[in-house]
Each structure stands twice: as C-alpha cells, then as structure tokens.
Amino acid sequence: MPPDHPPSRMWPCLLLLALSTGCGLAEYEARARRTLERLQQHDADDALLGEPIYLSSELPIFLRLPREIAHHPTGQSQVQLLAHYPCVHAADKLAVLEAHVGFIAAQEIEVPDILLGRLLDELQSSSGGALEPVNTDAKTLEVQRSWESPQLLEANRRVRYRSWFYHAATEVPRSAQGQPLPLPDGFPVSYRYEIYMHYIEASQDIPRAGHVVIVFRQLDTASTRKRWEQVVASRGEQRESLDRSEPPESPPQPAPSNTDPTAPSTNPTGATAPTNPTSTTQPAPQSPQEIFRWLPEVDDKRLELAKQAALASLRVGEAARQRLACFGR
C-alpha cells in the first residue's frame, strides 16, 4: 500500500510547486487590478472628453477636447495661427471654456518665446482686455495615460508641454457664440488663458518639426462674480445717497387762470404742455437677478480634469492616424 505521507525527497518539489502557483496567482491578480484601473481611467476620460477635433494641418493630429468645447472649428479664428473651437453652451450665457489649436512648423517660427509673443498679441487684440501673466516663467508639464492598448503605436508615451498662464480681468462680456451680451456698462468679465506648446521633432513619420499649440480660454467665475457684486453694491449705495440728497417735494401750486399771460400753452385736447421739456424719466436699475443670469455655474474641478485628459490625448503622425481610424476618420 502507498504510504500515508509523501517521501521526504518529494517535499522540495511540492514546496516549489506551491510557491510557483502562489506567485502566479499574485501576478494574475496584480495584472487584473491594473487592467481594472486602466478601464476606470478610460471611462473617466471618456466622460470628460468629446470627439476628436477636425483640424486642417499638414500633419495628422489626434486631440480630444473637453466636452464643453465643440470638435468642429469656427469658420474664422481670432488667432491667425490657430483654429478656434468655441464653447457649446447656450447663447444666453457667458462662454465657459473654448480652445485654439494648431501646428506651427519650426521653419515658420522656431523660437518658442517668439511664438508666444505672437500668440499673446493676437489673443489680446481679440479679447479686448489686457493679458496679465500669472507665472513669469514657462512651466513644464508631463501628462500620460496608460489605459490604451500597448499594440497601438506609442500608446503609453508621455506628452510633454511648456506652459504659460495669463489672466484678463476686463474683457467684454460675450456669449458662447461671440455675441455681446446686454450687460450694463461697468460689468467686465474675467478669463484665464492657458497656453501649451508641445514640440514635435522631425522623423521618418513626421516630415517637419514644429510646435503643437493648445490655448484654453476659461471663464473665471469666482473673480467675475466678486467684481459684479462689488459693482452692484457700489451702485446701490450711490442710489441711496442720491435719494437722500434730493430736496423735498414742493407743495402743489394752484393752476393758473387762462387770462394769465405766463401760463403754459395747451394743446387742442386741453392738456397742459410740460413746463420742462428737457426732463426725462430715469429707468429703474436692473436687479441683481437680471445681472447674474448671464453668469453660468462652473465646476472648476471637473474642467481641470478634462483639460488634463485632453492634453494627455494628443498624438501626432502615425499614432494619430491609428487613433483617428478607431473613430472612423
């Protein structure tokens, strides 16, 4: 009969088998966990981003912008070097988020600082307000997503940008379609400008080196609301002060007789003509509810995640062709 226990010479083999089985299970669980994390990241990004943009460029470029931004450019752009992608919100609200995107070959403008100066001149001219720098030096940003299939070319590569941030505190209030909103004078709008440059080196896949430029223009809701509240409060105080300074009303005077040569003339219906034809009735000031109805609610945290996901989605050349093919382009 076989022994109840395996011979002592078999224990090392059994121990090695148990250890190898345990290591295989741990590796499988780790791979499954990484796959789940990638799928969750994919779903999160997909909820934040829209369709790949249509961009007329000498290079194939794949880029998904936040869902708040249209993926078709407008017919005309305020920035000559870039295509303009407008906000998709309703026409009766301020534009929340929009973008300018383009590829500028190094043969045209090679030095990033010169390109930045050109962009700032055009952005400032189109905005109608001065752009003040938030950071004086360029920052370096690297973004990456690892949820894509490794079979896709350069699927998990990092995308490196140089970035600059600017603030415009006194822009003209316009809708998402660029139309002026009927706000009273003295109610400017604050916007934040984020400029990102990704340098592309020439290769067998890419014939010319250059910069991919992405500019985000985002409504600074908190700053705009605070400014408007200050204007409303100031105008309310001025109105109260004016009301207190007005003289008391004079007692009613008896109507003059028709024989009085100084009496005002009457029209055929017998109505008395006004004695002060230059006086006008001042319109009542708009209520705060009427003022703030053009200011939309903005989830700044969500927009920040969406911009980061958009920057990570950028691909150029053959990698862009593969991704565009996945979307039927």
Is 145 within 8 Å of 315 (Cβ atoms)?
no
The confidence score (pLDDT) of residue 66 equals: 97
Q: Tell whether 81 is covered by a domain.
A: yes
Q: Tell whether 314 is covered by a domain.
A: yes
The confidence score (pLDDT) of residue 262 equals: 47
Number of domains making up the chain: 1
Using alpha carbons, select from 89, 318, 110 the residue that is nearest to residue 205.
318
Residue 240 has pLDDT above 70, yes or no: no
Q: What residue type is assigned to position 58 of the chain?
A: E
In the numeric block, the tokens 């590796």 are attached to 27
Region 93-116: mean pLDDT is 92
Q: What is the 3-state secondary structure (H, E, C) of the chain?
A: CCCCCCCHHHHHHHHHHHHHHHHHHHHHHHHHHHHHHHHHHHHHHHHHEEEECCCCCCCCEECEEECCECCCCCCCCCCCCCEEECECCCCCCECCEEEEEEEEECCCCCCHHHHHHHHHHHHHHHHCCCCEECCCCCEEEEECCCCCCCCCCCCCCCEEEEEEEEEEEEECCEECCCCECCCCCCCCEEEEEEEEEEEECCCCCCCCCEEEEEEEEEECHHHHHHHHHHHHHHHHHHHHHHHHHCCCCCCCCCCCCCCCCCCCCECCCCCECCCCCCCCCCCCCCCHHHHHCCCCCCCHHHHHHHHHHHHHCCEECHHHHHHHHHCCC
Is 123 within 8 Å of 130 (Cβ atoms)?
no
Handedness of CA 262, 263, 264, 268 (dihedral sign): negative
Q: Tell whether 279 is covered by a domain.
A: no
Residue 19 has pLDDT above 60, yes or no: no
Q: Cα 223 to the chain's mean position, in Å?
A: 15
Q: Tell whether 169 is covered by a domain.
A: yes
164/144 Cα distance (integer angstroms): 19
Using alpha carbons, select from 300, 299, 41, 60 the residue that is nearest to residue 194.
300
The confidence score (pLDDT) of residue 135 equals: 80
The confidence score (pLDDT) of residue 244 equals: 60
Q: Tell whether 26 is covered by a domain.
A: no
Q: Tell whether 259 is covered by a domain.
A: no
Residues in the chain: 329
Confidence of residue 241 (pLDDT cuts 50, 70, 90): low
Neighbouring-strand partners of residue 214: 101, 196
The confidence score (pLDDT) of residue 106 equals: 92
Q: What residue type is assigned to position 134 of the chain?
A: V
Residue 308 has pLDDT above 60, yes or no: yes
Quickly count: other Cβ atoms within 10 Å of residue 64's Cβ: 23
Which range is least confidently modeled, 74-83, 186-195, 257-266, 318-327?
A: 257-266
222/190 Cα distance (integer angstroms): 9
Rg of the chain (C-alpha set): 33
Domain of 75?
52-228+294-326
Model pTM?
Answer: 0.76
Q: Tell whether 185 is covered by a domain.
A: yes
Q: Tell whether 114 is covered by a domain.
A: yes
In the numeric block, the tokens 């105080």 are attached to 237
76/78 Cα distance (integer angstroms): 7
Confidence of residue 35 (pLDDT cuts 50, 70, 90): confident
Which range is least confidently modeled, 88-92, 94-98, 178-182, 275-279?
A: 275-279
Tell me the pLDDT of the chain averaged across its residues. 79
